[in-house]
Structures are given as C-alpha cells and as structure tokens.
Amino acid sequence: MDFLKPISSNKIPCPDPTVKAESGFLDLYTGKNEDCRFCQFSAREQILSEVKKLLDIYSNEEAVSITITGHSLGAALAILSAYDIIEIGLNALKDGRAVPICVFSFSGPRVGNARFKERLEMLGLKVLRVVNVHDLVPKSPGLFLNEQSPPMMMKLAQGFPWSYSHVGVELALDHKKSPFLKPTGDPVCAHNLEAHLHLLDGLLL
C-alpha cells in the first residue's frame, strides 16, 4: 500500500486535494473496527480526543506545547497526527494563541508527497528526523522519486503515486562510528531504536 492518495480521501480535512500521504499509513491512522473492543475508535479519534482533553485541562494554567514522537511506523503516524492536529486547528486556543507542535521522528519512512511537505511547512509544523545513515527504512517509500531527485524530474512526476518527499530537518547518525557498538553485518541493527538513542546521547555529550 505504498501508493499516495489525497489526505482528504480519509476524511482528514485538507483544502488541497494534491496534498497526499501513503495509503497504508492513512488507513492505519483513520481505520477502525467496531466489532473489536480494542479498535472501536480509530487511532485518529483517540489521539485527537486525548489532545483536546489535555489542552482543556492545562492550557488555561500554563504555557503548553505538543511534542509527538515515534519510531519507524510510529514515526510516520506521529507526523500524520501532528499534521492533523494543526490542520484542523485543535492547537488553536480560545484566546487566539496557537500551541506550538513539533515531532521527533526516529527511523521514520517518507510519509507524503512534496505538496504534503509544503503544507506542513506552511502550517508551521516542526519535524526533526533522527536517522541512522545505514538504515533502509528512511529510504522508503519513494526509492526512485524523492526529495533527492532533480527538481525538474520531481515537478514532472508530482502526480505520480510513488513520488515522495521527506519532511523537516534530518539529523544523520552513523552507528559504525561509535566506539561502543560492536560491528555487525545485520542490517536490522541499523534500525534499532536503542542504537539511535545511544548515538544521539553521544552526539549531545
């Protein structure tokens, strides 16, 4: 399900039908199964309800911000959630203030097309993507058409269902440069969250 489709097709309000995200991520975020007691409400419904409740409790008493984080598939859902919150204006308080929102993404795949990236930037969503340069997950989907392709090619391919762009700012890490991690030929280790946190901790020391 790695083809792009309009975000609005999954009932997420978006005024621009050219803003698209990966079909599988959208379906996972908005899907529900009323016959299952654990899935009667979609991830979207649960997240928006909880954020609204917390803002109602705390926004009158103190300055608040919203930080969403996730690893791998969770990173993709974190970006979709943050986009949704800011797109529908859930972060807009009654006094006119806007609660700032940011995402810390670990090993996240590409989520949407170039218009999705532009829409996030226009709405003011901040995203920091922490990636291991040897990890394959952040290189997909969009192996051939992505933000690293020539601009002219991306412009010609903007309507294609497999033309993706990463969002936000990338923080690239390399587990092979750590003196504390044993060498391994297993590519799965490059996707390990603990390794990312170790590298991030060493970078900030």
8 Å CB contact between 172 and 200: no
Strand partners of residue 5: 21
Q: Give the active site residue among 72, 134, 149, 198.
A: 72
Tens-level pLDDT at each residue, the chain (205 residues)? 778 999 999 889 999 999 999 999 999 999 988 888 878 899 999 999 999 999 999 888 788 999 999 999 999 999 999 999 999 999 998 888 899 999 999 999 999 999 999 999 999 999 999 999 999 999 999 988 889 888 888 888 877 888 999 999 999 999 888 888 888 878 888 999 999 998 888 765 4
Matching residue, tokens 């969403």: 68
User: Which domains are present in the chain?
Assistant: 43-204 (3.40.50.1820)
Residue 76 has a pLDDT of 97
Dihedral sign, Cα of residue 178, residue 180, residue 184, residue 188: negative
Q: Give the active site residue among 42, 84, 107, 135.
A: 135
Distance (Å, whole) CA 120 – CA 85: 11
Query: Catalytic annotation on 191?
Result: yes
Residue 204 has a pLDDT of 54
Give the CA distances from residue 139 to residues 3, 14, 169, 204, in Å, rounded to whole numbers and listed in that order: 15, 26, 15, 25
Residue 205 has a pLDDT of 44
Task: Output the 3-class SS for the chain.
Answer: CCCEEEHHHHCCCCCCCCCEEEHHHHHHHHCCCCCCCCCCCCHHHHHHHHHHHHHHHHCCCCCCCEEEEEECHHHHHHHHHHHHHHHCCCCECCCCCECCEEEEEECCCCCECHHHHHHHHHHCCEEEEEEECCCCHHHCCCCCCCCCCCHHHHHHCCCCCCCCECCCEEEEECHHHCCCCCCCCCHHHHHCHHHHHHHHHHHHC
Half-sphere exposure for 17 (CA within 13 Å, toward CB): 2
Query: Catalytic annotation on 166?
Result: no
Residue 128 has a pLDDT of 98
Distance (Å, whole) CA 119 – CA 141: 19
Strand partners of residue 66: 101
